[in-house]
Protein backbone atom coordinates (compact mmCIF):
# COMPACT_ATOMS: atom_id res chain seq x y z
CA UNK A 1 0.00 0.00 0.00
CA UNK A 2 1.31 3.44 -0.96
CA UNK A 3 0.11 6.26 1.25
CA UNK A 4 1.12 9.84 0.50
CA UNK A 5 0.32 12.39 3.19
CA UNK A 6 0.62 16.16 2.89
CA UNK A 7 3.49 16.08 0.39
CA UNK A 8 4.95 19.51 -0.36
CA UNK A 9 7.70 20.67 -2.69
CA UNK A 10 9.13 23.96 -3.88
CA UNK A 11 12.03 23.90 -6.33
CA UNK A 12 13.09 27.50 -5.72
CA UNK A 13 11.92 27.99 -2.13
CA UNK A 14 9.26 30.44 -3.26
CA UNK A 15 6.76 28.99 -5.75
CA UNK A 16 4.92 25.97 -4.34
CA UNK A 17 5.15 23.18 -6.91
CA UNK A 18 3.33 20.66 -4.69
CA UNK A 19 0.99 21.69 -1.88
CA UNK A 20 -0.49 19.24 0.63
CA UNK A 21 -0.70 16.31 -1.83
CA UNK A 22 -2.34 13.25 -0.24
CA UNK A 23 -3.62 10.01 -1.80
CA UNK A 24 -3.38 6.24 -1.53
CA UNK A 25 -2.77 3.41 -3.99
CA UNK A 26 -3.79 -0.03 -2.75
CA UNK A 27 -2.20 -3.32 -3.80
CA UNK A 28 -3.76 -4.64 -7.05
CA UNK A 29 -4.93 -1.13 -7.88
CA UNK A 30 -4.14 1.02 -10.92
CA UNK A 31 -4.21 4.72 -10.04
CA UNK A 32 -3.77 7.31 -12.77
CA UNK A 33 -2.65 10.90 -12.23
CA UNK A 34 -3.94 13.40 -14.78
CA UNK A 35 -3.59 17.16 -14.97
CA UNK A 36 -2.36 19.96 -17.20
CA UNK A 37 1.24 20.38 -18.23
CA UNK A 38 3.27 21.74 -15.34
CA UNK A 39 0.71 20.67 -12.73
CA UNK A 40 3.27 18.59 -10.81
CA UNK A 41 2.67 15.01 -11.99
CA UNK A 42 6.33 14.20 -12.64
CA UNK A 43 7.36 15.99 -9.47
CA UNK A 44 5.06 13.69 -7.50
CA UNK A 45 6.50 10.55 -9.09
CA UNK A 46 10.08 11.69 -8.63
CA UNK A 47 9.39 12.53 -4.99
CA UNK A 48 7.86 9.13 -4.36
CA UNK A 49 11.11 7.30 -5.03
CA UNK A 50 13.08 10.22 -3.62
CA UNK A 51 14.86 11.07 -6.87
CA UNK A 52 14.15 14.62 -5.79
CA UNK A 53 13.99 15.82 -2.21
CA UNK A 54 10.58 17.13 -1.23
CA UNK A 55 10.06 19.58 1.60
CA UNK A 56 7.40 18.03 3.80
CA UNK A 57 4.94 15.17 4.22
CA UNK A 58 5.01 11.38 4.44
CA UNK A 59 5.54 8.72 1.76
CA UNK A 60 4.59 5.38 3.27
CA UNK A 61 5.29 2.19 1.35
CA UNK A 62 3.42 -0.21 3.57
CA UNK A 63 4.48 1.21 6.93
CA UNK A 64 7.90 2.56 5.98
CA UNK A 65 8.27 6.31 5.46
CA UNK A 66 10.68 6.59 2.53
CA UNK A 67 11.48 10.18 3.51
CA UNK A 68 13.01 9.03 6.79
CA UNK A 69 15.44 6.44 5.36
CA UNK A 70 19.21 6.78 5.21
CA UNK A 71 21.04 6.15 1.92
CA UNK A 72 21.51 2.40 2.38
CA UNK A 73 17.93 1.90 3.53
CA UNK A 74 16.63 3.98 0.63
CA UNK A 75 18.67 1.93 -1.86
CA UNK A 76 17.02 -1.25 -0.51
CA UNK A 77 13.57 0.35 -0.47
CA UNK A 78 13.97 1.51 -4.09
CA UNK A 79 14.34 -2.14 -5.12
CA UNK A 80 10.66 -2.46 -4.26
CA UNK A 81 9.73 0.36 -6.62
CA UNK A 82 9.81 -0.30 -10.38
CA UNK A 83 10.07 2.68 -12.70
CA UNK A 84 8.69 2.89 -16.24
CA UNK A 85 9.67 5.89 -18.35
CA UNK A 86 8.28 7.56 -21.47
CA UNK A 87 11.63 7.15 -23.25
CA UNK A 88 12.08 3.55 -21.95
CA UNK A 89 15.57 4.18 -20.43
CA UNK A 90 16.94 0.98 -21.94
CA UNK A 91 20.56 0.37 -22.90
CA UNK A 92 19.96 0.17 -26.64
CA UNK A 93 23.01 -1.89 -27.73
CA UNK A 94 22.24 -4.58 -25.15
CA UNK A 95 19.76 -7.38 -25.69
CA UNK A 96 16.27 -7.42 -24.22
CA UNK A 97 17.42 -10.14 -21.81
CA UNK A 98 20.42 -8.13 -20.61
CA UNK A 99 18.22 -5.09 -20.04
CA UNK A 100 15.76 -7.14 -18.00
CA UNK A 101 18.60 -8.57 -15.93
CA UNK A 102 19.63 -5.02 -15.09
CA UNK A 103 16.42 -4.86 -13.05
CA UNK A 104 18.07 -6.89 -10.30
CA UNK A 105 21.27 -4.80 -10.18
CA UNK A 106 20.02 -3.01 -7.08
CA UNK A 107 20.17 -6.26 -5.12
CA UNK A 108 23.79 -7.03 -6.07
CA UNK A 109 27.12 -6.01 -4.63
CA UNK A 110 28.93 -3.29 -6.59
CA UNK A 111 31.44 -5.83 -7.90
CA UNK A 112 28.84 -8.35 -9.11
CA UNK A 113 26.89 -5.47 -10.64
CA UNK A 114 29.97 -4.05 -12.38
CA UNK A 115 30.75 -7.35 -14.06
CA UNK A 116 27.09 -8.19 -14.73
CA UNK A 117 27.38 -11.46 -12.84
CA UNK A 118 23.98 -13.09 -12.87
CA UNK A 119 22.92 -16.46 -11.50
CA UNK A 120 21.32 -19.00 -13.84
CA UNK A 121 18.12 -18.66 -11.81
CA UNK A 122 18.11 -14.92 -12.53
CA UNK A 123 18.62 -15.51 -16.26
CA UNK A 124 15.77 -18.01 -16.25
CA UNK A 125 13.52 -15.55 -14.43
CA UNK A 126 14.40 -12.76 -16.88
CA UNK A 127 13.50 -15.06 -19.78
CA UNK A 128 10.21 -15.98 -18.12
CA UNK A 129 9.40 -12.30 -17.61
CA UNK A 130 10.08 -11.58 -21.28
CA UNK A 131 7.68 -14.42 -22.10
CA UNK A 132 5.15 -12.91 -19.70
CA UNK A 133 5.22 -9.59 -21.58
CA UNK A 134 4.99 -11.42 -24.92
CA UNK A 135 8.63 -11.00 -25.97
CA UNK A 136 10.04 -14.49 -25.46
CA UNK A 137 11.19 -14.59 -29.09
CA UNK A 138 13.04 -11.27 -28.76
CA UNK A 139 15.21 -12.10 -25.74
CA UNK A 140 18.50 -12.05 -27.65
CA UNK A 141 17.64 -9.12 -29.91
CA UNK A 142 19.30 -5.75 -29.32
CA UNK A 143 16.86 -3.25 -27.88
CA UNK A 144 17.74 -0.71 -30.56
CA UNK A 145 15.99 -2.95 -33.10
CA UNK A 146 12.71 -3.20 -31.16
CA UNK A 147 9.58 -1.09 -31.72
CA UNK A 148 8.50 1.48 -29.14
CA UNK A 149 5.80 -0.80 -27.75
CA UNK A 150 8.25 -3.69 -27.51
CA UNK A 151 10.80 -1.48 -25.75
CA UNK A 152 8.22 -0.43 -23.22
CA UNK A 153 7.38 -4.08 -22.56
CA UNK A 154 11.10 -4.76 -21.97
CA UNK A 155 11.00 -1.85 -19.50
CA UNK A 156 8.06 -3.47 -17.72
CA UNK A 157 9.84 -6.84 -17.56
CA UNK A 158 12.91 -5.06 -16.15
CA UNK A 159 10.75 -3.47 -13.45
CA UNK A 160 9.22 -6.87 -12.62
CA UNK A 161 12.71 -8.31 -12.13
CA UNK A 162 12.83 -6.19 -8.96
CA UNK A 163 9.74 -7.97 -7.53
CA UNK A 164 8.23 -4.54 -6.91
CA UNK A 165 5.43 -3.68 -4.52
CA UNK A 166 4.90 -0.47 -6.45
CA UNK A 167 5.38 0.46 -10.10
CA UNK A 168 5.62 4.15 -11.02
CA UNK A 169 5.05 5.02 -14.68
CA UNK A 170 5.78 8.48 -16.05
CA UNK A 171 3.78 8.87 -19.27
CA UNK A 172 4.51 5.29 -20.38
CA UNK A 173 2.38 5.51 -23.53
CA UNK A 174 3.25 9.04 -24.67
CA UNK A 175 5.43 7.76 -27.54
CA UNK A 176 3.26 4.79 -28.53
CA UNK A 177 0.69 4.18 -31.26
CA UNK A 178 -2.90 3.27 -30.25
CA UNK A 179 -2.37 -0.50 -30.55
CA UNK A 180 0.83 -0.51 -28.46
CA UNK A 181 -0.87 1.86 -25.99
CA UNK A 182 -3.58 -0.70 -25.35
CA UNK A 183 -1.07 -3.55 -25.09
CA UNK A 184 1.03 -1.71 -22.51
CA UNK A 185 -1.95 -0.46 -20.47
CA UNK A 186 -3.54 -3.92 -20.46
CA UNK A 187 -0.25 -5.41 -19.31
CA UNK A 188 0.09 -2.88 -16.47
CA UNK A 189 -3.49 -3.56 -15.43
CA UNK A 190 -2.98 -7.34 -15.47
CA UNK A 191 0.15 -6.99 -13.34
CA UNK A 192 -1.74 -5.01 -10.74
CA UNK A 193 -4.65 -7.44 -10.63
CA UNK A 194 -2.72 -10.72 -10.86
CA UNK A 195 0.49 -9.87 -8.99
CA UNK A 196 -0.95 -7.58 -6.30
CA UNK A 197 1.29 -4.65 -7.32
CA UNK A 198 0.24 -1.03 -6.74
CA UNK A 199 0.56 0.76 -10.09
CA UNK A 200 0.66 4.56 -10.33
CA UNK A 201 0.67 6.09 -13.81
CA UNK A 202 1.04 9.69 -15.02
CA UNK A 203 -1.03 10.19 -18.15
CA UNK A 204 -2.21 12.91 -20.47
CA UNK A 205 -4.94 10.78 -22.07
CA UNK A 206 -8.19 11.18 -20.11
CA UNK A 207 -9.96 8.48 -22.14
CA UNK A 208 -7.24 5.95 -21.29
CA UNK A 209 -7.45 6.94 -17.60
CA UNK A 210 -11.21 6.38 -17.68
CA UNK A 211 -10.77 2.96 -19.26
CA UNK A 212 -7.85 1.50 -17.32
CA UNK A 213 -7.78 3.18 -13.90
CA UNK A 214 -9.44 1.97 -10.73
CA UNK A 215 -8.89 5.37 -9.29
CA UNK A 216 -8.05 8.75 -10.82
CA UNK A 217 -6.14 11.57 -9.14
CA UNK A 218 -6.50 15.00 -10.73
CA UNK A 219 -3.72 17.52 -10.10
CA UNK A 220 -3.80 21.21 -10.86
CA UNK A 221 -1.11 23.68 -9.80
CA UNK A 222 0.46 21.17 -7.42
CA UNK A 223 -2.77 20.38 -5.59
CA UNK A 224 -5.11 17.36 -5.64
CA UNK A 225 -8.40 18.63 -7.07
CA UNK A 226 -9.98 15.23 -7.81
CA UNK A 227 -9.58 11.81 -6.21
CA UNK A 228 -12.28 9.36 -7.17
CA UNK A 229 -13.35 6.50 -9.43
CA UNK A 230 -13.31 6.81 -13.24
CA UNK A 231 -17.12 6.79 -13.11
CA UNK A 232 -16.97 10.11 -11.27
CA UNK A 233 -14.62 11.58 -13.87
CA UNK A 234 -17.34 13.44 -15.73
CA UNK A 235 -16.63 16.05 -18.38
CA UNK A 236 -17.25 18.71 -15.73
CA UNK A 237 -14.70 17.09 -13.43
CA UNK A 238 -12.18 16.93 -16.28
CA UNK A 239 -12.78 20.60 -17.09
CA UNK A 240 -12.13 21.47 -13.45
CA UNK A 241 -8.88 19.48 -13.36
CA UNK A 242 -7.63 21.22 -16.50
CA UNK A 243 -8.92 24.71 -15.76
CA UNK A 244 -6.57 27.60 -15.06
CA UNK A 245 -7.94 28.29 -11.56
CA UNK A 246 -9.23 24.98 -10.14
CA UNK A 247 -12.05 24.92 -7.63
CA UNK A 248 -11.41 21.85 -5.49
CA UNK A 249 -14.77 22.03 -3.70
CA UNK A 250 -16.80 21.62 -6.90
CA UNK A 251 -15.86 18.01 -7.59
CA UNK A 252 -15.20 14.99 -5.49
CA UNK A 253 -11.99 15.18 -3.51
CA UNK A 254 -12.54 12.29 -1.14
CA UNK A 255 -8.95 12.02 0.03
For every residue of 79-139, DSSP letters joined together read TTEEEEETT----TTSBHHHHHHGGGGGGS-HHHHHTT---HHHHHHHHHHHHHTT-GGGT
Distance CA(58)–CA(8), nearest Å, equals 9
User: Beta partners for 31?
Assistant: 200, 215
Q: How many residues bind ligand ATP (CB under 6 A)?
A: 10
Provide, rounded to whole angstroms, the least separation between the CB of residue 40 and ligand ATP: 4
* Pick 7 or 127: Cβ nearer ligand ATP: 7
Provide, rounded to whole angstroms, the least separation between the CB of residue 51 and ligand ATP: 11
**Secondary structure of residue 186 in the 3-state scheme:** helix
| Number of helices followed by number of strands (H, E) in the chain | 9, 10
Q: Is there binding between residue 136 and ligand ATP (CB under 6 A)?
A: no
- What is the strand order of the sheet 64-65 is part of? 18-25, 2-9, 56-61, 64-65
Cβ atoms of 214 and 186 within 8 Å: the answer is: no
* Pick 41 or 132: Cβ nearer ligand ATP: 41
Q: Which helix (H) or strand (E) holds 216?
A: strand 215-220
* Pick 40 or 103: Cβ nearer ligand ATP: 40
Provide, rounded to whole angstroms, the least separation between the CB of residue 94 and ligand ATP: 28
Provide, rounded to whole angstroms, the least separation between the CB of residue 52 and ligand ATP: 7
Window 5 to 24, contacts with ligand ATP (CB under 6 A) = 11, 17
**Secondary structure of residue 58 in the 3-state scheme:** strand
Q: Is there binding between residue 221 and ligand ATP (CB under 6 A)?
A: no
Q: Which helix (H) or strand (E) holds 152?
A: helix 148-160
Provide, rounded to whole angstroms, the least separation between the CB of residue 28 and ligand ATP: 26
Window 163 to 202, contacts with ligand ATP (CB under 6 A) = none
Window 29 to 48, contacts with ligand ATP (CB under 6 A) = 35, 37-43
Cβ atoms of 29 and 37 within 8 Å: the answer is: no
Provide, rounded to whole angstroms, the least separation between the CB of residue 176 and ligand ATP: 16
* Pick 14 or 63: Cβ nearer ligand ATP: 14
Window 43 to 82, contacts with ligand ATP (CB under 6 A) = 43
* Pick 183 or 202: Cβ nearer ligand ATP: 202
Summarize as ranges the residues that interact with ligand ATP (CB under 6 A). Answer: 11, 17, 35, 37-43
Amino acid sequence: MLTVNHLAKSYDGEKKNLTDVSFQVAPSEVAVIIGPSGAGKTTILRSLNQLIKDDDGEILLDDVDLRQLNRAELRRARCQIGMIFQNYNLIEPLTALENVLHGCLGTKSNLAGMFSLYRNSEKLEALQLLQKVGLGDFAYQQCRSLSGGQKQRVGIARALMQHPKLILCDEPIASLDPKSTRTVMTLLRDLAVNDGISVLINLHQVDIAREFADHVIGINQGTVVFDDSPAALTDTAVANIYRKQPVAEEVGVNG
